[in-house]
Each structure stands twice: as C-alpha cells, then as structure tokens.
Amino acid sequence: MKVLAGNSNPALAAQIADYLGVRLTNASVKRFADEEVYVEIHENVRGEDAFVVQSTSFPANDHLLELLICVDALRRASARRITAVLPYFGYARQDRKTGGRTPISAKLVANLIEKAGADRVLTVDLHAGQIQGFFDIPTDNLYGGPVLVSDIKDNLGDRDLMVVSPDVGGVVRARYFAKRLDADLAIVDKRREQAGVSEVMNVIGDVDGRHCIIVDDIVDSAGTLCNAATALLDRGALSVSAYVSHGVLSGGAVKRVSESSLESLVVTDSIRATAEVENEPKIRQVPIASLLAEAIKRISTETSVSSLFD
C-alpha cells in the first residue's frame, strides 16, 4: 500500500498513514515559478495499491489540479490501483442546474477525476448522496455522523437535547443524529434568495427550554448557522451549538461565528484549519483520520466498508 499526500491537508494524511502503520510516499508536490503544479514520485509504486489523500478545499482549483496530477503520475508509474481519497469533495454544492445556462460542476469534477486515472473514490459526507452516481467507478461515501455523535455524547450528553436541521434538505441527516442521541427533532424553515445568503423564516418544533444542536454537512459563510442560532434562542432555546462535517469557513465566517450567539461550532478536520480557526475558542475540530484509515485498510484488503457503520 502507498499513501500519497497532496498539499491540502498533510497533517490528516500523516495521521492516516500513522494509523495504517505505513509511511507517506516520498514525493514532491510543488510549483514551478509560474505556479504550474509539478509532481514527482521518488520511490517505486509499480503494482502498488495507491491512495491519494487530498481535499479540494481552498484554494479549491489548485488542490483539485494537484489531485489530478498526482493520480496521473501514479498511473504513469504503473500503480496497480489508484484511489482518490477526498475527505472533502469540493464543487459538490453545484450538483444540479439551478437556473438557465448554469453548469453541473460536481459532474464535471467527477469526470476529471476518472479521466485522470482514478480507479475508485473515497470521500466523507457528500453534500448530496446522489453525487456517487456521477462517477462510473466505485465510490465510497463515509459518514462523519458517528464521530460527531460520539463527541456530542462526551460533551453535551447531560443536557436535554434537541437536534435541529438548518433546512428541509438536511432532515435525513438530522434524523440520524436525533435517533442516536434519543433526542427530538426540529427544522428551521429557511429561504435562500442567492448563494451564500439566507434568511430564517420559521422554526418547526418546540425548542423552548431545550439545548439545541444544529447539524449540517458544510459551513461556508456561517450565515445560516448564525441566523438559525438567533432564531432558536428567540424561541426559548437555552443554548445552541453546531456540529458540521466540513468547516469551509470562508471570508468573514470565523468572525461571524465569534460574534454570534452560538455556544460552539464543532467540525471535523477534513479541511485543514487556518490560523484564524485555530485561534477562535468557539470553534473546535474533531479527528476523522481513524475513520478514513479504517476504510482505506478495508478497501486494500477487499473487505466490507459499509460494515463500518452497522
């Protein structure tokens, strides 16, 4: 087995390799003077089961191109099988036409990964499960829920909890959390006038006197979370925390969380934390290296990945 790390999240890749008891593949993933990506693998990978660990997080286009070139380098070096491991799959929010003359970028990215030479894909909490169908190669979509549920039990298990979905589309995810926490479920009725801008309209469910936990797959601008937290507290919630799989946290998101009525925001380390995130006491990361490493081991040994969640 070979585990190759791109530049998007080298710490996570190192933790995965540690868990598997292997060392990271000796390779250079760097830039020419004009910022072209250059990849060189410094050891033999012929006939190996190769895994490229690379989130397509900010800067998304650079990291995506790094992934494609790493896969191409492995293919041309005669790796037996290449798995693209994307802890965070960028462009997933563009999974359908939202209007006239708009792209379906998630499908385009899936095509690029396949054409580069990947034999399979491993990712965590796709924005929409049907994106698996955009690939014509085997695709495993892991669930970060068990990791986050465990953290909730450890830190908030003594409270009277209410799980909240920030929109109607996230109800299935919220129901998963509510079932495992033996908690009730509420829904925020939200209208989004344009990308990145949302307005809370109503809260479905009685949150009065409850400790609310908002669960979602991606937090980007954090506008939805902060608006939802305010709406829940206005309706009598005692506290509001948020548990989210992928902390994109772009632009002024960290400042927005800091100034919001959220008690805490917990995200996985699928995306490398910036210095701003690390220095914000309200935001905390939980590790998912063991989840990804266990899935990689099962793929390599041809055993069941889905049984991880039984």
User: What is the C-alpha to C-alpha distance for residues 285 and 266, in angstroms, rounded to an integer?
Assistant: 6
Instruction: Tell me the three state secondary structure of residue 70.
Output: helix
Which token pair is 254? 């960290």
Query: How large is the greatest C-alpha to C-alpha distance in the chain, in angstroms?
Result: 61
Catalytic status, residue 97:
no
72 beta partners = none
Catalytic residue among 115, 179, 190, 255: 190
Task: Show the CA angle centred on residue 137, arms to residues 286 and 290, nearest 5°.
Answer: 20
What distance lies between CA 97 and its chain's CA centroid?
A: 22
Instruction: Tell me the three state secondary structure of residue 169.
Output: helix
Q: Which helix (H) or strand (E) holds 177?
A: helix 171-181
Are 199 and 166 in contact by the 8 Å Cβ rule? The answer is no
Strands 264-268 and 239-247: parallel
Active-site residues, by number, are 190
